A = this chain, B = another copy of it.
Amino acid sequence: MPKSLIYDVAQRAGVSIKTVSRVVNNEPNVRENTREKVLAVIKELNYRPNASARKLASQKSYLIALLYDDPSLYDNPSSNYVLNLQQGALRICKSETYDLLIHPCDYRDKNLNQEVSSLIHNSRVDGLLLAPPLSDQKSLIETIAATDTPFALISPGNKTLTPLSVFTNDREVSAEMTEYLAFLGHKKIAFIKGDPEHKALQERYSGFKDGMRNSGLKIEKNFVKNGDNSFGCGELFAKQLLSLKNPPTAIFCCNDDMANGVLRTAYKMGIKVPDSLSVAGFDDIPLAEQTNPSLTTIRQPVRSMTEHALEILMDKVKNRESKISPDDLLIKAKLVIRESTGKAPS
């Protein structure tokens, strides 16, 4: 199958190359029957426009960059999150004939701003999508905004930042989980916080506080730990908490990795879960289904979240009215109740 050019199509359809171009790009001012004729020839010749030529002539890149924090830098098992991001982004890009440039970063890297701005300049991307925690980095956002490149965020919590953002209800659902634990009879509930730079994780802590208040429970100071999202710190803090003379009966962790660490410590200390201790996580990584016991947690629909965010971005990139209603912007997470939570010991 020899690759055909726009000229071939034009000639065979008896029109000018410009008309073919109009059809290909869905531009107006083409009569319906000529459009059909051209489309037929395109199909017949299996014509695909040369991406580089389009880009060069149109001064666009047809490229969307997906920026995310690279979990393999910490070698943790939540990489599934990234794959879901990519999948969602890929799907929308494909449907809009854009390409996707994946760009794993280290959100702690001090040169991040420079790295991203050179990405924008060198690759001349038409738009950027930022996943948390990169979407929390204020100076990064400002850097990008200064380049006038459209961007969208997957962002936790509040809606004030920018209109180009999809939001999660981390706070509300964390409150819900807390209330669920209270409902099970737990009164001594511990919380292991995550990285403070991760805004979503802060929101989860706020949600925990809400939930405790709503349940008429008060938070004991030494039941709250400052974790760093890692399995290891879940282990460590569990050891501390469970060695207390008056230990908590439930531990709610900011993410599944830490919850898994708690599970391990409980196992080692011979503390039965959920009989003597309830454990809850957040994220619903695939592993959560496979732990002993399996983990009660909270699931976020990462893929559809990403797809929404990217659709918003594409609207911006293509300068068209957004069809996404504000209601669609809030992506709701849900409790997933498994084996690691149960009635409070009496």
Contacts and interface: CB of A to CB of B under 8 A. Distances in A.
Nearest to A102: B102
Contacts of A79: 79-80, 82-83, 286
B290 A261 contact: yes
Contacts of A261: 290
Interface string A48-82: 10111101100001000000001110011101101
Interface string A257-272: 0001101100110000
Given A264-B292, A286-B75, A70 B55 contact: no
B99 A84 contact: no
Nearest to A71: B83
Contacts of A86: 102, 104
A77 B292 contact: no
Contacts of A124: 50-51
Given A83-B82, A102-B90, A77 B3 contact: no
A346 interface: no
Given A83-B82, A260-B290, A292-B263, A121 B77 contact: no
A116 to B, nearest CB: 14
Interface in A99-129: 99-102, 104, 121-124
Interface string A193-228: 000000000000000000000000000000000000
A82 B286 CA distance: 15
A72 B83 contact: yes
18 contacts: A3-B121, A51-B61, A52-B55, A70-B87, A71-B80, A72-B83, A77-B286, A77-B290, A79-B80, A79-B286, A82-B83, A83-B83, A86-B102, A87-B104, A90-B102, A260-B290, A263-B292, A267-B292
Given A77-B77, A83-B104, A87-B104, 7 more contacts: A51-B55, A72-B83, A72-B87, A77-B287, A86-B102, A231-B289, A292-B292
